[in-house]
Each structure stands twice: as C-alpha cells, then as structure tokens.
Amino acid sequence: MAEVTAPAKPAGAARTSKAHPLWNTFFRRLGFGVITLFCVSILVFAATQVLPGNAASAVLQNTATPQRLHALELQMHLNRPAVEQYWTWLTGLLTGNPGTSLVSGASVSSLVGGRVVNTAVLVLLAGVIGTLIGVALGMLAAARRDSWLDHVLSVTALAVTALPEFVVAMALVIFFAAVIWHLFPAVSVFPPGVAPWSDPTLLVLPVATLVIVIVPYTFRMMRAAMIDALESDYVEMATLKGLSRRRVLFFHALPNAIAPTIQVIGLNFLYLAGGVVVVEYVFNYPGLGQGLVNAVSDRDIPVIQFIVILLAAFYVVVNIATDMVSLAASPRRRLPRS
C-alpha cells in the first residue's frame, strides 16, 4: 500500500508545478498585496475617525458655526455610521470617484490626476538616471578596488547617503540657481495641464536632487555585488582563459551582480515615492508630494486620503514587481526546492 502511494506524490507535485512556479509566487504576492492595501485603506479611513470632535470641525477650525458644521457633516456623510461611511468611501475609490476637495470643491480625481503625471515623470527620470549612474560608478569602483578612486567614491557615498533631500536641494539651489551661478530656475512652477517636459530646465534641479540622493545607495550595493562576483571561481576561470578584462567584467561578472542590484532599484523607487514630497515642495513642483503637503496644511482630508492611498498602492506594486524581477533574474532561487 505504502509502496503504491509513494511514487504518486512526485507526479502530483509535477502536475501542480506545470504552471510555472513564478506564477504561483506572483499570485500569492498579489493576494497579499491586495490584503495589505485593504488594511491600509482601513487605517487611512480610521485615522480620520479618531479626531477629537469630528473631521468637519477640524476642517473648519475657527470658522465653524453650527450651520456650516452641519452642512459639512452632511457633505462628508458624517451623520452616518462609520462602517457605512467607509463603504461609501471605498466603493467611490474603486469606481474612480474619490470624493470632492473640502477646500476648492473640485473633484479629488481632477485635482490629483495631473499631479500623478508630473510626479511620475520626476520619479521615472530620477530613478532611471540615478540607477544608471549608480551602477556605472559601482562597477568602476569594484573594478579598481582599493584604488584612490574607489576610496574617494566610497567615502563620498557614505557621506551623501545621510543627507536629507532638502539639504541637497538647497545646496543645488545655492550653487546653480541663486547665489553662485544662475543656470537653472530655483522654482519649477508650471500651470496645470502643461506637460512637465515642455520646459526641461524646470526638471533639472528636482531630478538632480533625487538622483544625488539615490546614487550612493545603488553605488554601494552594486560595488559589493560586483566585488562578490569578481571573486568567484568562474570569473577567475574566465580571466585564466585569457579573456579581456572588459569581457570578464561585462559578460561574466555583471550578469551575476544584477540580481541584488534589482532589489536596490526597487528600493530606490520606493524611496522616491517619499522623497518627492520634500523635493516637490522645495521647487514648488506641481506633483503629488506638493499636493499632499498643501492638503495637510489645509486639512483637506479627502485629498490627503487619496494621495496616501495612491502612494501606498505604488509601494505595494513596486514591492511585488521587484520581488518578481529579482526571482526571474536569479535562476537558483526560481527553481522549486527539490
């Protein structure tokens, strides 16, 4: 009996793994992502419920009269039970109707829509440029390990990693916009509806700030991964075969150093989601981050909720994408453990 059932097991295992194992991981991660976002939405909604008094009086503050308070309570559905309020909000969110701004009365999606594009441009440009520079410098430092160049780059990276965005931004403004040279505008204001790439000089300083903040981290990871790869047996083998240094670096070491670096690229994009807040504010760049800061100043709760949910969704998506790409890039971890 036992002998009969025993061979059946591997066959069953083979059948379930016929769908590529990556897909299983993907769907599991996606499921967790959806659950996480659901919990985030509860948290974001609950946050407005713990207000002393209620959201309406917080918005109106000193201008609260009983009539205005009552009108606003009706507008915000505050007279209904919390669960019903949450349901209204959540279904609105999912059907593309995240409510109306308490300050301007415009719909939240129209206020936020253009900003999403502007921020996406900023994040993509900074992410791509920063990653390329970081990877290139990391390879350079690893290839010339312990040279003066390596030491200078490593120490600089250590120092710059720790700098807050607004410090980097102010330094750039001092050098390139206001005090020493006057090459670029110190603020990047442009009206809604205008594409941010219509005047590239407006993008230079915000993108440069973000690039400077993310390069050191990418550099350190890339340098470490590359040193690891360069010390491996197969690289030694390739060198002993008499391959050129360049070929060894790019075709033998680099592909093996990429997997850990993909994690870093993911982390960079995650970081950028928070980093844009301060940078957009410094340069008056009309993106999500500036929108969030303005909304927090005005206590415009529907706008705050929507932007926070958007950023959280971005976080979850980037996390999943990073894991999947780095799984796909490292065959050893991709195979089922058998």
Partner 1 sequence: MASTAALEVLQSAGRRRARRREWVAVLGRAVRTPRGAIGLGIVGAVVLIAAIGPALAPYPADNFVTRPFANPSLSFPLGGDTLGRDVLSRTLDGGWQLLLMAAVATLLGVGVGAAWGVTAAYSGGRWDTVLMRAVDIVLAFPQLVFALLLVSILGPKIWLIVLAVAISHAPQVARVTRAAALDICERDYVRAAQIIGMPARKVMRREVLPNLTSVLMVELGLRLTYSILVIAGLSFLGFGLQPPTPSWGYMINENRIGLVANPWGVLAPVLLIAALTIGTNTLTDAVARASLGVGRGADDALLPGITAAGAVS
Q: Collapsing DSSP states into helix, strand and coil, what is residue 231?
A: coil
**Smallest gap, in angstroms, from Cβ of residue 166 to partner 1?**
5
Instruction: Name the residues that contact partner 1, by CB under 8 A.
Output: 32, 35-37, 39-40, 43-44, 47-48, 50-52, 58, 145-146, 154, 158-159, 161-167, 170-171, 173-174, 178-179, 186, 217, 220-221, 223-224, 227-228, 267, 270-271, 273-275, 277-278, 281, 292-293, 295-297, 299, 301, 304, 308, 311-312, 315-316
User: CA–CA separation, 205 vs 285, rounded Å?
Assistant: 11
Cβ proximity to partner 1, 184 vs 315, nearer residue: 315
Nearest distance from C-beta of residue 165 to partner 1, angstroms:
7
Of 68 and 299, CB closest to partner 1: 299
User: How far apart are the C-alpha atoms of 59 and 305, rounded to whole Å?
Assistant: 14
Smallest distance, Å, CB 100 to partner 1? 17
Cβ proximity to partner 1: between 175 and 190 the closer is: 175
Neighbours of 324 (CB within 10 A): 18
C-beta of 6 vs 204, nearer to partner 1:
204
**Closer to partner 1 by Cβ: residue 121 or 315:** 315
- Min dist CB 277 to partner 1, Å, is 6
Rounded to the nearest whole angstrom, what is the least distance from the CB of residue 259 to partner 1 in the complex? 13
Count Cβ atoms below 10 Å from residue 5 Cβ, excluding itself: 8
Cβ proximity to partner 1: between 178 and 204 the closer is 178
Burial 151-165 (b: 16+ CB within 10 A, else e): eebbeebeeeeeeeb
Cβ of residue 208: shortest distance to partner 1, in angstroms? 17
Between the alpha carbon of residue 276 and those of residues 36, 57, 87, 283, the distances in Å are: 23, 30, 31, 10
φ, ψ at 107 (rounded to 5°): -70, 145
How does DSSP classify residue 196? G
**Could you give the C-alpha distances from 200 to 61, 197, 281, in angstroms and in order?**
41, 5, 18
Contact 126, 214 (CB under 8 A): yes
* Distance from C-alpha of 328 to C-alpha of 23, rounded to nearest angstrom: 11
299 close to 58: Cβ distance less than 8 angstroms: yes
Whole-angstrom Cα distance, residue 256 to residue 93? 42
Beta carbon nearer to partner 1, 125 or 307: 307
Min separation Cβ 3 and partner 1, Å: 34
Query: Least distance to partner 1 from the beta carbon of 245, Å?
Result: 21
Nearer to partner 1 (CB atom), residue 42 or residue 247: 42
